[in-house]
C-alpha cells in the first residue's frame, strides 16, 4: 500500500482533504458519516455553498446591479435553500412545488422568480397571489393566460418575456435551451408584439424584463454575450417605441463547474466532452464579456444610462451547489469476470440518485473514501445497484462521454465507501425510487464540523405512503 503525502488533485484545502487515509469533508471523517448515517448519503457543505455564492457575486465588479437567483431545480432540499437564502441571494423556481418549497425555506415573494414551459392556471395563480418578483412567460398564449388569471384575482402580475434567440452552446443537446429547435421561450419575431400586448394590458400585467437561458454547463462566454445583445436590442426597441423602461434582463444560469479537476480519466473522454466538463468560465468573466459587447452598442445608441440602471439577473444552479455535495456510497458486492479479466465493484448508489449518468452519461469523479490517500490506479468496472445494465459509471455507449473504467486502489473490498464528488446538482432533485430503493438521508456540514441531518432516510412505508 502506498499512501501519498501530498493531497490528490481533487482535494480542496479546508474542504475535501485526505487525513489518516480517509476522505474528510470540512474536517469531518467521511467514513464516520457513513457509519453513523448509513449510505447512500448526501453530504452537503454549507461553507462550500457560501464560497460558491461569493465567487459568483464577483460578477458585480462588472455590473453592480446584479441579482442572483439560485436555480432551485438544481437542488431544492430545504436545508440547501436555507443556506442559500442566508447567504443573501434569491431564488428561481420552475413549478408550484418549487414555489412552495422556496416560500417554506423562508424566501420573501419578491426574492422569487418563476420559469416553466407548461404552467398551470393554478401555478400562475399561486405565483400572482404570492406577489413574486416575476413570472417568465414562455409563449404568447401564456401572456393571455397570466392576464386572465391576474384579472380574475384583481391583481397585477409582474412578467418577463423569455426569448429564444438562436444561440447555441458547446453543451449537450438536451442542455441547450436558446436554439430555435429547443422547446423553450418566444421567438424574436413574436416577442415585440407580445411586449406591446403586455403594455396594452397594464391593468393586470406589469412588463418588467426579458430573459434568455442559453443552457446548462455552458463553457464559453460568447453565447451569453449573444443572448445579452439580443435582449438588449429588444429592450432598446421597446424604449424607443413606447418609452417603457424594462427593469431587468435575466441572463439565465449555466455557469459551468469543472467536473474534471482530477484529470485521471480525462484522456479517455472525448475532446469536446472534456472541454465542456472541464470548463472554468467564471460568472465574472462571463459578465465582463457580455457587458463589454452591450456597452458598445449602448454608447452608440446614447443609451448607456439604460444599461447602468438595469438590474441583471442570473440564475446559477450548478455553480452554487454541484461541488458542495458528495454522495457517499458503499461497495456492496465485488466480482471478477475471468472471460474479460475485469474486476467489478458494485455500489449502493446508481442513476436513481445521479440521473445525469444515464441522461447525459455525465462524469462524476469517484474516490475511495476509505483509502483516499492511496494511489487510484487499478481499473474497475464500477456500477450501481439498479436492475438495469445501463446503471454503470463507465462508457457503455462508445460516445466518449465516460471513461472505459474507473480507477480505484487495488483490491477494493465490500464495505469500503466510495465518494462521488461534485454530486450536488440535478441529483437529489431528480432522484427516483426505482427498484423500491428508498430516498437517502442528507446531512449538512457547517463550519467547524457540526453535522445536521436535513433529510431523514425514507423507509419502506414511505414507498407506499400515497398508494391506496
Ligand atoms: C431557466 C433556467 N435557469 C437556470 C438554470 C440553471 O442552470 P445551471 O444549473 O446550469 O446554472 C436552468 C437549468 O438548466 C434553467 O432551465
86 within a domain of the structure (yes/no): yes
* The pLDDT of residue 219 is above 70: yes
pLDDT at residue 1, rounded to an integer: 54
**Residue 176 confidence (pLDDT):** 83
Query: Whose C-alpha lies nearest to ligand 1, atom 5?
Result: 253
Short-list 347, 328, 429, CA closest to 393: 347
- 7 in a structural domain: no
User: Could you tell me which of 12, 17, 8, 21 has the C-alpha nearest to residue 372?
Assistant: 21
Establish if 435 belongs to a structural domain: yes
pLDDT digits (tens, 9 = 90+) for 260-284: 998 888 889 999 999 999 999 999 9
Map grid coordinates 423602461 to a residue: 245
Mean pLDDT rounded to a whole number for the chain: 96
CATH of the domain at 126: 3.20.20.10
Nearest atom of ligand 1 to the alpha carbon of 177: 16
SS3 per-residue string spanning 241-280: HHCCCCCEEECCCCCCCCCCCCCCCHHHCCHHHHHHHCCC
CA of 290 to the centre of ligand 1 (A): 18
C-alpha cell at 108: 420573501
User: 197 alpha carbon to ligand 1 midpoint, in Å?
Assistant: 28
Lowest mean pLDDT among 1-10, 114-123, 171-180, 357-366: 1-10
- Beta carbon of 115 within 6 Å of any ligand 1 atom: yes
Residues 277 and 219 reside in one and the same domain: yes
Which ligand 1 atom minimizes the distance to the CA of 425? 9
Considering the domain architecture, whether residues 258 and 329 belong to the same structural domain is answered as no
Residue 3 has pLDDT above 60, yes or no: no
- Taking the centre of ligand 1 as the mean of its atom positions, its distance from the CA of residue 410, in whole angstroms, is 39
- Where is 223: in which H helix or E strand? helix 222-242
The predicted structure's pLDDT at residue 172: 84
The atom number, within ligand 1, closest to the CA of 217 reads: 10
Ligand 1 nearest atom to the CA of residue 215, by list position = 14
pLDDT tens by residue, 407-447:
999 999 999 999 999 999 999 999 999 999 999 999 999 99
Do 339 and 267 share a structural domain?
Answer: no
Q: Looking at 288, 321, 354, which one is the last position of a domain?
A: 321
Residues 263 and 328 in one domain: no
Provide the pLDDT for residue 4.
Answer: 59
Helix pair 96-104, 121-130: axis angle to 10 deg: 30
Structural domain of 295: 47-321
Statement to judge: residues 310 and 431 lie in one domain? no
Nearest to 195 by CA among 183, 207, 212: 207
pLDDT digits (tens, 9 = 90+) for 83-131: 999 999 999 999 999 999 999 999 999 999 999 999 999 999 999 999 9
Name the pLDDT band for 376 (thresholds 50, 70, 90).
very high
- Decide: 249 and 312 in contact? Cβ < 8 Å: yes
Please report whether residue 4 resides in a domain: no
Nearest-atom index, ligand 1, CA of 256: 10
Mutational test site, ligand 1, from 53, 56, 68, 74, max ligand atoms within 8 Å of CB: 74
Tell me whether residue 153 is in a domain: yes
Residues 398 and 260 in one domain: no
Closest CA relative to residue 92, chosen from 322, 251, 327: 251
The confidence score (pLDDT) of residue 151 equals 98
Q: d(Cα 53, Cα 322) in Å, to the nearest integer?
A: 12
CATH number for position 24:
2.40.37.10
Regarding whether 410 and 264 lie in a shared domain, the answer is: no
Residue 311: which H helix or E strand, with range?
Answer: strand 311-314
CA 336–ligand 1 middle distance (angstroms): 41
> Does residue 5 surpass a pLDDT of 70?
no
- Cβ of residue 17 lying under 6 Å from some atom of ligand 1: no
Residues 355 and 283 in one domain: no
pLDDT tens readout for residues 298-357? 999 899 999 999 999 999 999 999 999 999 999 999 999 999 999 999 999 999 999 999
Q: Is the CB of 63 under 6 A from ligand 1?
A: no
**Are 66 and 37 members of one domain?**
no
Q: Which of 339, 340, 387, 466 is catalytic?
A: 387
Co-location of 152 and 269 in the same domain: yes
Which residues fall within 8 angstroms of residue 171, CB to CB, at 6 or more apart? 215, 216, 217, 218, 219, 254, 276
Dist. CA 425–CA 277, nearest whole Å: 14
Q: Mark whether 289 and 264 lie in a shared domain.
A: yes
End-of-domain residue from the set 302, 321, 340: 321
Query: Is residue 69 among the annotated active site residues?
Result: no
Question: How many structural domains are present in the chain?
Answer: 2
pLDDT of residue 179: 86
Query: How far away, in angstroms, is 217 Cα from ligand 1 center?
Result: 9
Ligand 1 pocket test, candidate residues 118, 216, 321, most atoms within 8 A of CB: 216
Over range 199-206, report the average pLDDT: 98
Residue 468 lies in a domain: no
Question: Does any domain span residue 192?
Answer: yes
Residue 303 lies in a domain: yes
Among the candidates 297, 321, 345, a domain finishes at: 321
**What pLDDT does residue 465 have?**
96
| Residue 110 Cα distances to 107, 128, 137, 275, angstroms | 8, 11, 17, 37
Same domain, 253 and 125: yes
Mapping DSSP onto H, E and C, the string for 325-383 reads: EEEEEEEEEEEEECCCCEEEEEECCCCCCCCHHHHCCCCCCEEEHHHCCECCCEEEEEE
Amino acid at each position: 500500500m502506498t499512501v501519498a503525502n501530498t493531497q490528490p488533485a481533487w482535494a480542496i484545502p479546508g474542504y475535501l482533504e485526505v487525513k489518516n487515509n480517509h476522505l474528510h469533508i470540512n474536517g469531518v471523517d467521511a467514513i464516520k458519516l457513513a457509519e453513523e448515517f448509513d449510505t447512500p448519503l448526501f453530504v452537503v457543505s454549507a461553507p462550500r455553498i457560501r464560497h460558491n455564492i461569493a465567487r459568483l457575486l464577483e460578477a458585480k465588479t462588472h455590473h453592480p446591479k446584479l441579482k442572483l437567483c439560485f436555480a432551485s431545480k438544481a437542488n431544492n432540499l430545504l436545508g440547501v435553500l436555507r443556506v442559500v437564502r442566508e447567504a443573501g441571494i434569491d431564488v428561481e423556481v420552475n413549478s408550484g412545488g418549487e414555489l412552495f418549497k422556496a416560500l417554506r425555506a423562508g424566501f420573501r415573494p419578491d426574492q422569487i422568480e418563476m420559469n416553466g414551459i407548461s404552467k398551470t392556471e393554478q401555478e400562475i395563480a399561486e405565483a400572482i397571489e404570492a406577489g413574486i418578483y416575476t413570472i417568465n412567460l414562455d409563449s404568447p398564449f401564456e401572456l393571455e393566460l397570466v392576464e386572465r388569471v391576474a384579472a380574475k384575482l384583481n391583481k397585477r402580475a409582474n412578467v418577463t418575456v423569455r426569448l429564444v434567440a438562436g444561440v447555441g452552446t458547446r453543451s449537450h443537446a438536451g442542455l441547450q435551451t436558446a436554439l430555435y429547435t429547443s422547446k423553450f421561450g418566444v421567438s424574436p419575431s413574436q416577442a415585440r408584439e407580445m411586449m406591446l400586448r403586455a403594455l396594452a394590458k397594464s391593468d393586470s400585467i406589469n412588463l418588467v424584463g426579458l430573459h434568455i437561458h442559453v443552457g446548462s454547463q455552458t463553457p464559453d462566454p460568447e453565447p451569453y454575450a449573444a443572448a445579452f445583445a439580443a435582449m438588449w436590442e429588444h429592450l432598446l426597441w421597446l424604449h424607443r417605441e413606447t418609452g417603457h423602461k424594462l427593469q431587468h434582463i435575466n441572463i439565465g444560469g449555466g455557469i459551468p463547474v469543472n467536473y474534471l479537476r482530477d484529470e485521471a480519466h480525462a484522456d479517455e473522454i472525448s475532446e469536446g466532452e472534456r472541454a465542456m466538463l472541464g470548463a472554468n468560465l467564471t460568472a465574472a468573466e462571463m459578465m465582463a464579456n457580455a457587458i463589454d459587447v452591450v456597452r458598445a452598442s449602448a454608447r452608440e445608441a446614447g443609451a448607456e444610462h439604460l444599461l447602468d440602471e438595469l438590474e441583471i439577473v442570473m440564475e446559477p444552479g450548478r455553480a452554487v451547489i454541484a461541488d458542495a455535495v458528495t454522495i457517499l456510497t458503499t461497495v456492496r458486492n465485488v466480482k471478477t469476470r475471468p472471460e474479460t479479466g475485469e474486476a467489478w465493484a458494485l455500489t449502493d448508489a446508481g442513476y436513481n440518485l445521479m440521473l445525469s449518468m444515464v441522461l447525459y452519461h455525465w462524469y462524476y469523479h469517484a474516490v475511495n473514501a476509505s483509502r483516499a490517500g492511496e494511489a487510484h490506479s487499478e481499473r474497475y468496472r464500477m456500477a450501481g445497484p439498479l436492475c438495469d445494465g445501463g446503471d454503470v459509471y463507465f462508457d457503455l455507449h462508445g460516445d466518449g462521454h465516460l471513461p472505459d473504467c474507473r480507477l480505484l486502489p487495488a483490491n477494493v473490498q465490500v464495505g469500503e465507501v466510495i465518494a462521488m464528488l461534485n454530486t450536488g446538482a440535478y441529483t437529489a432533485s431528480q432522484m427516483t425510487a426505482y427498484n423500491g430503493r428508498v430516498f437517502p438521508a442528507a446531512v449538512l456540514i457547517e463550519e467547524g464540523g457540526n453535522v445536521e441531518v436535513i433529510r431523514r432516510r425514507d423507509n419502506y412505508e414511505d414507498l407506499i405512503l400515497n398508494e391506496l
